[in-house]
Amino acid sequence: MADLTDDDFALLRGVDTPTICNAIEVIDGRRGFDRFTRGTLLASDPQGVMLGRARTARIRAVAPPDEPPEEVRARRMDYYCHMASGSGPRLAVIEDMDGAAAIGAFWGEVNTTIHKGFGLSGALTNGVMRDLGDMAPDFPVLAGSLGPSHGFVHVTEIAVPVTVFGLTVAPDDWVHADRHGAVVIPPGHLAELPAAIRKMQATEQIILSAARAHSFDFASFETAWAAFENART
């Protein structure tokens, strides 16, 4: 799995997305990493974390498709075939081309259950979700909005680069996402992330342990902060 052990993968699934952002900067040795979403996403499961290679597609729902029904149905099956294919951890990244006008809830009880059955770990979309009480368990969805209807939802493109909340994701990109948003992990960084996370966590403990001590005051803060500054990126 891209040079990750099971323990390493569990570590990455066990931290939040801000930690992944910070760890990437530890690897780079500088700040400035910017392959992350902008704005506020809605989380179906505030505790949900997804990690895997992106399976991508585009949809629309405001207006019905202008293609013959058989073409629409064939593309839908091609979409599900794409989502079901591939090995290892995967997640769906879906761009709703209706943008801010999106009305079609592609993600609800049925699609979360299907995609979870295909082995995907969750879904990231700028579009709409619904059925919050009935979604498949342990299948988090990050979406742009909530809505009651599916409108005329239909797949328009499959396995293409998509842009969601300002983040462009290509098929097979490694993505980490949770209620804070999503990041694309740069090529070559995945195997280095576990060590970077452990280093960052140890560095943060310098200041956190001091701040949590009963004897914490400004003098101990100054000492701890100097050590923290020397150790961090």
CA 98 to CA 133: how far, in whole Å? 25
The distance of Cα 40 from the centroid of its chain, to the nearest Å, equals: 13
CA 166 to CA 40: how far, in whole Å? 11
CA 112 to CA 217: how far, in whole Å? 50
The pLDDT of residue 127 is 98
Asked if residues 122 and 91 have their Cβ atoms less than 8 Å apart, the reply is yes
The pLDDT of residue 1 is 58
The pLDDT of residue 4 is 80
How is the chain split into domains, by residue range? 1-33+186-233, 39-185
- The angle subtended at Cα 155 by Cα 101 and Cα 13, nearest 5°, is 85
The pLDDT of residue 5 is 87
The pLDDT of residue 30 is 85
Beta-carbon count within 10 A of 171 CB:
17
Cα torsion angle, 78, 113, 84, 176, sign: positive
Rg (CA), the chain: 20
CATH fold for domain 39-185 = Glucose Oxidase; domain 1 (3.50.30)
pTM exceeds 0.75 = yes
Which of 95, 101, 105 is CA-nearest to residue 62? 101
Who contacts 225 (Cβ-Cβ below 8 Å, separation ≥6)?
207
Print pLDDT tens along the chain (233 aa).
556 888 999 999 999 999 999 999 999 888 889 999 999 999 999 999 999 999 999 999 999 999 999 999 999 999 999 999 988 999 999 999 999 999 999 999 999 999 999 999 999 999 999 999 999 999 999 999 999 999 999 999 999 999 999 999 999 999 999 999 999 999 889 999 999 999 989 999 999 999 999 999 999 999 999 999 888 75
